Amino acid sequence: MMAKEYKRKVYLQDKPRLEAKQQMFTHFNSKREIEWVDSSDSLGRVLAKPVFANSSMPHYHASAMDGVAVIAEETFSAHEHRPIQLKKDLEFAYVDTGNEVPSPFDAVIMIEQVNEISEDIIEIIEPAVPWQHIRPIGEDIVQEEMLFPQGHIIRPVDIGALLASRTVRIPVVKKPVVTIIPTGNELVSPTDTISTGQLIEFNGTVFANYIHEWGGEPQLHPIVKDEPSSIKTTLLEAAKHADIVVINAGSSAGSKDYTVHIIAELGEVFTHGVATRPGKPVIIGKIEDTIIIGVPGYPVSAYLALEWFVRPLICEVLQVSEPVRQKLQVKLGRRIVGTMGAEDFIRMNIGYVNGEYIANPLPRAAGVTMSLVRADGMLVIPPTSLGYEQGEYAEIELYKPLEAIKESIVFIGSHDLTIDLLSSQMKAVNRNTSIMSSHVGSLAGIMAIKKGEAHVAGIHLLDPETHEYNESYIERFLADKEVVLYPFLKRKQGWLLPKGNPLDIQNVEDIVEKQAHFVNRQKGAGTRILFDMLLREAGLSTEEIIGYGREMFSHLSVAAEVKGNQHAVGLGIYPAAKAMGLDFIPVADEHYDLLMTRAFFESQQGKDLINVIQSEAFFEKVAGIGGYLLEKNPNPIYLGMRE
Ligand SMILES: Nc1nc2c(c(=O)[nH]1)N[C@H]1C(S)=C(S)[C@@H](COP(=O)(O)OP(=O)(O)OC[C@H]3O[C@@H](n4cnc5c(N)ncnc54)[C@H](O)[C@@H]3O)O[C@H]1N2
Ligand code: MOO
């Protein structure tokens, strides 16, 4: 049979997200089935019906103490001055905690209050109150009592109550089966060998874990090729067996994006395109009685779309409410632009500095998985808003506990590999502290300290006049603020070159002469200032440098770029060259220092940070990277306004 020709569709009438969701629900025929499971294996399950106790707990009158069981009435006359004696078996019986209290006894006296006269005789000096120290039948649970209503989600403590009352099987809502179909000719499994243009399939596994967490039953289908007939067969089969089907990628307008046509052919499409950034090319439709959701390929878009559309369906089947994240009012550290007519979902870092929560955006690209990994929260800009100005306040949904955010040290400035080591070492010493670092370059680091948005900034700014590092910049920008410059380390800066140095680059003149592609850093980065100085001293202009206008934000991204291009050269630190297997020619010994407010430097957190920096363990770890000289017990330099 000839494969049907599917034309590239230029598509997408963006629909508001909530409208798309409501419309989806009008088509959703939630099948709620009941299954019986062992109570001992029911954690997190949702009760389909109320559950009643099968037996009482305790199911006999049990002694609550080690002691003697007595008939209360016979002890009423006991008194310090008139002790009474009781005879074993006839008038009392020894019992331990949990033992049955045999009839006709109706009270227990603790053993500490009993005077044992002989093997058979005891003496007591205080009367016993009827039923004292006895756990009567049903004290905890009464047979036939309702333990939990329908809809209750089983927790560990609940399993105890179920088992204690011999309620060993319970009716729960059957988990909705969600079939996940990853599609794409370029996809390979993470253990396969991989070549350029191929991509590792990981979305499917992430989906499966989210669905599991939300109470669904994920079924991950093997990768399906971008072929209409394969996609069609897989979708039809999945629609028969699953409650919900999620098909990944092929959702937008590419030449192989068939999904929407196939769903339309086999069933119905209600939505193609929601008014969100990212996440726009979502498809929602139906084949037979099963909702099919096409989620975009880019990971961030995909996971958000899954939460917007798949989680509500699972919750509907389970009849539980959707989880809501805690919200927090934050001050925005940067201007954030929104898209008119669409909701923007912006992953944010949040720091707690000088008693205020300051939030900064993480990369917005939908392919940057780490923006979700690192997110402390999500800023949702409504479709009617153009965004926020720097310094404005906004409400953020929290992705991490507030306590964790509050205890982290906000580190802004230039990136250095030792900061990651420092962060992990801090965590090893005190598991409640962590370093939250964002890499914006040295100058932006100084500005963040100035604006009170960071605790520590890592800076390496060369003064082209004096050839000295950092101090003159702080005097220029931070004269009105009490700060401490902590000499941290010296690191080797040099040319990053493809292995073997194919263009034989030795200096900045060679870059121009040999028409090498220079991989530049962003304005304000210390490395950029160094490069500009080298250019100026050689009498060269930036126009002569191929690639000068394109900016990278870290040493590692410069190194990665150089690795992929035989004509490239970059300026960066030795460890980046080592990490990427590049050649390295030293140019300068750079001073990388830590700038802090004096208040932070003198705080407990500041002291802890310095202790970790000066620890033997940290020195050893840094020596392991190579190319660094850590400062041993340096003298901190106090700068800025004095009191
Ligand atoms: N002309 C247009 N092109 C694109 C548009 C548009 O509106 N017009 N939208 C862009 C947006 S926004 C998104 S999002 C993507 C969605 O693309 P698809 O859903 O068609 O997905 P693919 O192109 O197949 O893949 C994109 C990208 O996603 C990653 N991916 C895909 N599958 C997986 C997987 N199973 N595991 C991990 N990662 C996966 C991968 O990086 C792919 O390169 O379209 C834009 N284009
Ligand atoms: O909308 Mo796409 O989902 O931005 O990446």
Helix, strand, coil % (nearest 5) of the chain?
30, 30, 40
Tell me, in angstroms, the distance from the centre of ligand 2 to residue 279's CA.
4
Q: What is residue 643's predicted lDDT score, i.e. its pLDDT?
A: 44
Distance from C-alpha of 28 to C-alpha of 288, rounded to nearest angstrom: 11
Instruction: Say how far apart CA 469 and CA 465 lie, in whole Å.
Output: 10
222 in ligand 1 pocket by Cβ < 6 Å?
A: no
- C-beta of 298 in contact with ligand 1 (< 6 A): yes
Given phi > 0 = left and psi -120 to 50 = alpha, else beta, which region is 404? alpha
The per-residue pLDDT for 6 is 53
What is the secondary structure of 51-73 as a DSSP string? EE-SS-BSSS-EESSSEEEE-GG
Strand residue runs (E) in 382-469: 387-388, 393-398, 408-413, 434-439, 456-459
Task: Out of 257, 295, 301, give the residue to mutate to test ligand 2, the one with the largest number of ligand atoms within 8 Å of its CB.
Answer: 301
Ligand 2, pocket-test mutation among 203, 248, 277, 345, most atoms within 8 A of CB: 277
Q: Is the CB of 303 under 6 A from ligand 2?
A: no
Do residues 282 and 11 touch, judged by C-beta distance below 8 A? no
Does residue 299 have its Cβ closer than 6 Å to ligand 1? yes
pLDDT at site 544: 95
Instruction: Please report where in the chains the tokens 């009716």 appear, as a residue.
Output: 171
List helix spans (H) across 184-310.
Answer: 203-213, 228-241, 259-266, 299-305
621 CA from centroid of ligand 2 (Å): 40
Taking CA atoms, 240 is separated from 117, 246, 262, 287, 620, in Å, by 80, 13, 16, 9, 59
Is the shortest distance between the CB of 42 and ligand 1 below 6 Å? no
Pocket-testing residue among 257, 298, 306, ligand 2, by greatest number of atoms within 8 A of Cβ? 298
17 lines ligand 2 (CB under 6 A): no
Q: How confident is the model at residue 253, as a pLDDT?
A: 63
**Is residue 182 within 6 Å of ligand 1 at its C-beta?**
yes
Enter the pTM of the model. 0.84
Ligand 2 proximity of 366 Cβ (cutoff 6 Å): yes
Q: Which residues of the chain have pLDDT under 50?
A: 1-3, 8-10, 643
Report whether residue 371 contacts ligand 2, using a CB cutoff of 6 Å: no
Q: What pLDDT, on a 0 to 100 scale, did the predictor assign at position 627?
A: 86
Residue 573 Cα distances to 180, 257, 590, 629, 631, angstroms: 43, 43, 9, 13, 17
Domains of the chain: 17-31+176-318 (3.40.980.10), 34-57+140-173 (3.90.105.10), 62-135 (2.170.190.11), 326-398 (2.40.340.10), 442-639 (3.40.190.290)
How far apart are the C-alpha atoms of 77 and 91, rounded to whole Å?
14
36 vs 56, 177, 241, 270, 544, CA distance in Å?
22, 17, 20, 36, 75
ipTM above 0.90, yes or no: yes
What are the residues whose beta carbons fall under 8 Å from the beta carbon of 352, sequence distance 6 or more? 358, 405, 406, 407, 408, 410
- CB of 187 closer than 6 A to ligand 1? yes
